[in-house]
Amino acid sequence: MSRKGNCWENAVAESFFYSLKVELIYTERYATRENAKQSVFQYIEVYYNRVRPHSSVSSIAPLVFESQCKKVA
């Protein structure tokens, strides 16, 4: 963590929530709060953590990156 007032202290969270809003929330209309919760869960657990490319791991999906690391080790 950085000191108070440094722009880096929330950068990771802000980046994630930006992606969540742009890629999911702003593109959908939810009939109920439960539908929204399920949609967000699916986005995070199925798409964001397994399929979506991340620039921090050579622009590949985290699941692919982890499997490559296991093969090397």
The domain tally of the chain equals 1
- Residue 46 covered by a domain: yes
- Residue 3 covered by a domain: no
Report the pLDDT value the prediction gives residue 63, as an integer from 0 to 100: 83
Report the pLDDT value the prediction gives residue 1, as an integer from 0 to 100: 54
- Residue 6 covered by a domain: no
- Residue 4 covered by a domain: no
d(CA 32, CA 11): 30
φ, ψ of residue 60 in degrees (nearest 5): -125, 165
State which residues form the domain around 27: 11-72
Of 16, 22, 4, 23, the closest CA to residue 62 belongs to: 16
pLDDT (mean) for 33-49: 94
Q: What is the pTM of this model?
A: 0.70
What tokens does 14 get?
Answer: 């802000």
What tokens does 55 get?
Answer: 């620039």
Q: Which residue has the higher pLDDT, 51 or 30?
A: 30
Q: Give the N- to C-terminal CA distance of the chain in Å, as an integer.
A: 30
pLDDT (mean) for 16-31: 95
